[in-house]
Amino acid sequence: MHKKLIAILVIFLAIPIILVNCSLRPIKIMQNYEKDNTKAIDSDSIVVGFSQLGWESDWRTANTKSIQNALTEENGFSLIFSNGRQKQENQIKDVRSFIFQEVDYIVIAPTIETGWDTVLEEAKEAGIPVIIVDRMIDTKDTSLYISSVGTDKYAEGRKAGQWLEHFLENKRGANSPLLNTDTINIVELDGTMNSTAQIGRSSGFNDIVKNHKNWKILTQESGEFTKAKGKEVMARLLNRFNDIDVLISQNDDMTFGAIEAIQEAGLTCGEYGDIAIISFDAVSEAFDKMEKGLINVDIECNPLQGPLIAEIIERLEKGEMVNKEYYVDEKIFEAKNAKKDRVGRSY
Ligand code: AHR
């Protein structure tokens, strides 16, 4: 009798817990289904589920806007946007939710490269084509995605190294302290570890470093692609090393934080400063800083990938072939031309 009472109590206590847990993730889905009894969203348009990896940088904001502006109702799309908040597990849940909602296409900007096979197999089984955007995934089974749109991150890293070679060889910025040192001491602020942007830029740059006996990488640390972390890590590195010649920072937001740390440490940066800075992305604030001479060079990472995604989907809708990989165009911007080069840029 006593045992029975306990069992009943346990069941009654467990019911609300189960209900709360069940309602955590699919709220959005259920609401969509309530609005429309058949599919998640208006079935006349092409329904695209987009799992963006986060909101960490100005670049990311520009990338998100580009995709949202391309996949509009006017252009024939219904976009379901989800923010993965820098966690792959969130993005995997997003993909599962898109499959459940029976979207027509899934677009993923993957935070890191590995660990996608299982969920992409589920998408494949459901017959939903997947387009990878910005960063890449590491998989042996390339049939798990139909196409990819992004930038060549390895090439970006090489360009950074080649710019430094050029800078040193041509003695540009003749007053730069960099030209009076035999050993070039470099610190690398890396982005999110194991992301394509981090892997590609590190290996591209490090492949150029290998050609120069007098270039020394003092350390390589992650600033997670954010301004706050970039500042924190740079402040620590300035305490640890008193002879940094070059900072290579894998995105502009970390660079902005690092510049604050450098200035707070009483040092200067840029072409004539104590520390030369090579940055990546080339967002608007970076041009401001290049105009002020605080950043030497910015290797562009083009976030405007939305129109290409729309075009790929439109082609697939018409039954046309698409390439497995698409890369958007990118340039290199130097401080001395920043004012002229930024004209007409939208982000
Ligand atoms: O994957 C692209 C990188 O991710 C950008 O360089 C950076 O700003 C972003 O966070």
Q: For residues 213 and 184, is the Cβ–Cβ distance under 8 A? A: no
CA of 58, closest atom in ligand 1: 8
Q: Which CATH architecture has domain 27-151+303-329?
A: 3-Layer(aba) Sandwich (3.40)
Ramachandran assignment for 194, one of left (phi > 0), alpha (psi -120 to 50 degrees), beta (any other): left
Rounded distance from Cα 41 to ligand 1 centre (Å): 30
Q: Which of 108, 112, 114, 98 is nearest to 131 (CA)?
A: 108
Pocket of ligand 1 (CB under 6 A): 56-57, 59-60, 134-135, 197, 225, 251, 280-281, 301
Q: Does domain 153-301 have CATH number 3.40.50.2300?
A: yes
Q: What is the pLDDT along the chain (347 residues), one digit of tens a residue?
A: 454 544 444 444 443 333 333 322 222 222 232 333 345 555 689 999 999 999 999 999 999 999 999 999 999 999 999 999 999 999 999 999 999 999 999 999 999 999 999 999 999 999 999 999 999 999 999 999 999 999 999 999 999 999 999 988 876 555 666 666 679 999 999 999 999 999 999 999 999 999 999 999 999 999 999 999 999 999 999 999 999 999 999 999 999 999 999 999 999 999 889 999 999 999 999 999 999 999 999 999 999 999 999 999 999 999 999 999 999 999 999 999 999 999 999 99
Burial class (CB in 10 A: 0-12, 13-18, 19+), 344: exposed
- Going by their DSSP bridges, the two strands 215-222 and 147-150 should be labelled as unpaired
- Scan for tokens 């290049």, then name that residue: 290
Rounded distance from Cα 228 to ligand 1 centre (Å): 15
- Concatenating the DSSP letter of every residue in 208-256 gives HHTT-TTEEEEEEEE-TT-HHHHHHHHHHHHHH-S---EEEESSHHHHH
Residue ranges per domain, the chain? Answer: 27-151+303-329, 153-301
Rounded distance from Cα 60 to ligand 1 centre (Å): 6
Rounded distance from Cα 57 to ligand 1 centre (Å): 7
How far is the C-alpha of 227 from the C-alpha of 230, rounded, in Å?
5
